[in-house]
Chain A
Amino acid sequence: MAKLKYRPINLGRWLVWGGTALVMIVLPLIFTSGFTLTLLSQIGVSIIFALSYNMLLGQGGMLSFGHAVYSGLGAYFSVHALNLISKGAFYFPVTLLPLIGGLAGILFGVIFGYVTTKKSGTTFAMISLGIGEMVFACSLMFPGFFGGEAGVSTNRVIGQPFLGITYGPSIQVYYLIAGWALVCMAAMFAWTQTPLGRMANAVRDNPERAEFVGYDTHMVRFLTLVISGFFAGIAGGLSCINYEIVTAENVGALRSAGVLMTTFIGGAGFFFGPVLGSIVFVAMVSAVGAMTKAWAFYLGLLFLLIVLYAPGGFASLIAMHVPVIKARLMRRLWLPYAAAAAAGIVLLAGLVSLVEIIYHYSLEGGTAPEMTLFDFTFDVTDGTPWAVAIGLLVGGFVISRFAWNAVGRAWADIVHILQRQSA
């Protein structure tokens, strides 16, 4: 007679979720600048959006090029609802406004999803791209709803304050986003532990077998997309509150490509991958974007490196170290890692110097040839900074090769030890 294994309380899981909540509460108290608060709010919205995307890509094996349709339309419905609320057309608390975005996500998930999920693989990807372009084109065809090129703006501060909450100050908006992010993260994680969530994995891995155990693969994909659309719509609603403006960009291909990159950089194969991806992506776009015009180049390069050398994303890099830590073998990696990091810094310094010099030379070389980089001020029309940058780049590349060979050897030893231990 078979017996069931029961796990009364998963303490580790509670600790992870509790820790995440604590971090979300404490972060704005530590980093109090307005810029950091904006960054954290963007990360919160991005986490919901990317996790909803990963329900398709990671959980259901659906590569979508048009996911911004659901978040964008959610944002548009939210912005119109907010404007109507402020005019007194109906009463609805701003705190729950993302739900309107979520419902819009469901509605369009049902409409578009039924068609897109009929097929999987490349066909699905192509249809999703087509629908994305179609909706983006609609933004110019229906300016009454989409607001034309200027978009639709709103004011999130409406009605009487409730317990002092007006959503005027950024900190209040941050905590609203953080609260929604935590609830959505928990709900999306819970979804992975349901029959539909598991069958989405089954359809991703082997759609034929899934059909022969009684499941309509089209229906599994369709329901997954509708639920994913709901969460994307919530992200759209929060984005509307955060920025107080919604433009055609919200439904555009760039937004769809952004969420794909976010998820891939973080790691589509892991639930927490898109969370990591959101932190990296928002940091690259906002923080690096504030520092240099070349941010998109660096983001593209990072994406390329991830695709080539860590296709499982940052999450996979973390996950691959778990058995090493458990076997207490990390000490074998510290030295090679330190060498690789040092070499990487030299390589990165060379690359950044060269890219920034080229940018400055191309854009302002004729009018303002002086630039400051890493606290050094120099003339980009002079040959020395070019030579130093190229030197750092080539030197960094050469020593990186040696350093990464050492990392490779250390890993080979560790794998050998782990295999021996498990045998």
Chain B
Amino acid sequence: MSTAIELKAVTKSFGNTEIIRGVDLAIPQGERHAIIGPNGAGKSTLFNLISGRYPVSGGQIELNGESIIGLKPFEINRKGLSRSFQVTNIFQRMSVFENIRCAVLWSLGYKYSFWHRLGGLKDANLRAEEVMESIGLKQRRDTSAGVLSYAEQRALEIGVTIAGGAEVILLDEPTAGMSRTETADAVELIRKVSKGKTLIMVEHDMGVVFDLADKISVLVYGEVIASDKPENIRGNKAVQEAYLGTEAH
């Protein structure tokens, strides 16, 4: 199976502080890969480097074998990588439908068109309706995103992330702040929408991680100390010492 994302000796420093210290990671296509680690380990920073939000200080990042170093977020997105954010990052003043339609326009080739009428874009509208249905927000179609409940906003965040049809999806703490029921629903949603895609996920809820991930990488102080199948991670002493403690049992 070919590699979807590959990080080679990636480093990131802010001033004199090195946050990411030589991360090597290869994630094959179609894998659900979770990145775990204690607070401040550099998980979100790693996501920001992969998605082009921050430039790397050193090393190489490849998407489907092609370097994406120096590319801007929109260029990386156009190459088939989409991400969600730890803090909900949607178009608050737009309706649920408009949020998702905005996310499908580029991938369907409408780009900067000012000669197409949005109402007449059957493919974009149909795709937006489908995504809305798949994330369970069909009943909230015309509701402004800003007034949705927290769980609904998180679902919309995932909807906006997957709507463009990206093959590599990065989800940053998708279940953070959710109740148990909401988390269970979110896990099912992620399972459904990531089918056949490469999923990389940062998550603190170990139940979610061990339920969803095919493979887990443990990041501690900007270094990957282990990268293996969930059952092996559970039994890894270094990981237990550094992070999991008794939670893994």
Could you say which residues of chain B place their CB within 8 Å of the CB of A215?
74, 106
**In the complex the two chains form, is A213's CB within 8 Å of B164's CB?**
yes
Most buried by B among A195, A205, A208: A195
**In the complex the two chains form, is A2's CB within 8 Å of B133's CB?**
yes
Interface of A is mostly: helix
Contact of B119 among A7, A206, A208, A213 (CB under 8 A): A7
Nearest residue (CB) in A for B98 is A198
Chain B: minimal CB distance from A52 (Å): 14
The verdict on B186 contacting chain A, using a C-beta distance below 8 Å, is no
Cα A201 to Cα B130 in complex, Å, equals 23
Cα A190 to Cα B119 in complex, Å, equals 11
> For residues 140 through 175 of chain B, which have their beta carbon under 8 Å from a beta carbon of chain A?
160, 163-164
Cα A216 to Cα B160 in complex, Å, equals 17
Chain B: minimal CB distance from A220 (Å): 7
**In the complex the two chains form, is B103's CB within 8 Å of A213's CB?**
yes
Contact of A214 among B93, B106, B125 (CB under 8 A): B106
Nearest residue (CB) in A for B146 is A205
Contact of A219 among B91, B112, B119, B138 (CB under 8 A): B112
The verdict on B14 contacting chain A, using a C-beta distance below 8 Å, is no
The verdict on A361 contacting chain B, using a C-beta distance below 8 Å, is no
> For residues 1 through 17 of chain A, which have their beta carbon under 8 Å from a beta carbon of chain B?
1-4, 7
Contact of B160 among A193, A195, A198, A213 (CB under 8 A): A213
**In the complex the two chains form, is A4's CB within 8 Å of B126's CB?**
yes
The verdict on A223 contacting chain B, using a C-beta distance below 8 Å, is yes
Chain B: minimal CB distance from A254 (Å): 31
**In the complex the two chains form, is B117's CB within 8 Å of A194's CB?**
yes
The verdict on A212 contacting chain B, using a C-beta distance below 8 Å, is yes
Stretch from B56-64, B77-85, B203-211, B226-234 at the A interface:
B77-85
**In the complex the two chains form, is B114's CB within 8 Å of A205's CB?**
no
Cα A206 to Cα B145 in complex, Å, equals 12
The verdict on A210 contacting chain B, using a C-beta distance below 8 Å, is yes
Query: Count of B residues near A, CB < 8 Å?
Result: 43
Contact of A197 among B51, B111, B114 (CB under 8 A): B114
**In the complex the two chains form, is A2's CB within 8 Å of B129's CB?**
yes
Contact of A206 among B78, B91, B101, B105 (CB under 8 A): B91
Contact of B102 among A7, A191, A199, A216 (CB under 8 A): A199
> For residues 65 through 122 of chain B, which have their beta carbon under 8 Å from a beta carbon of chain A?
72-74, 77-78, 82-83, 89-94, 98, 101-103, 105-107, 110-119, 121-122
Could you say which residues of chain A place their CB within 8 Å of the CB of B72?
211, 216
A211 and B118 contact, Cβ closer than 8 Å, known pairs A4-B125, A4-B129, A205-B92: no
The verdict on A202 contacting chain B, using a C-beta distance below 8 Å, is yes
The verdict on A56 contacting chain B, using a C-beta distance below 8 Å, is no
**In the complex the two chains form, is A211's CB within 8 Å of B73's CB?**
yes
Chain B: minimal CB distance from A1 (Å): 8
A213 and B106 contact, Cβ closer than 8 Å, known pairs A194-B117, A196-B113: yes
| B interface, CB within 8 angstroms of A | 51, 72-74, 77-78, 82-83, 89-94, 98, 101-103, 105-107, 110-119, 121-122, 125-126, 129-130, 132-133, 138, 160, 163-164
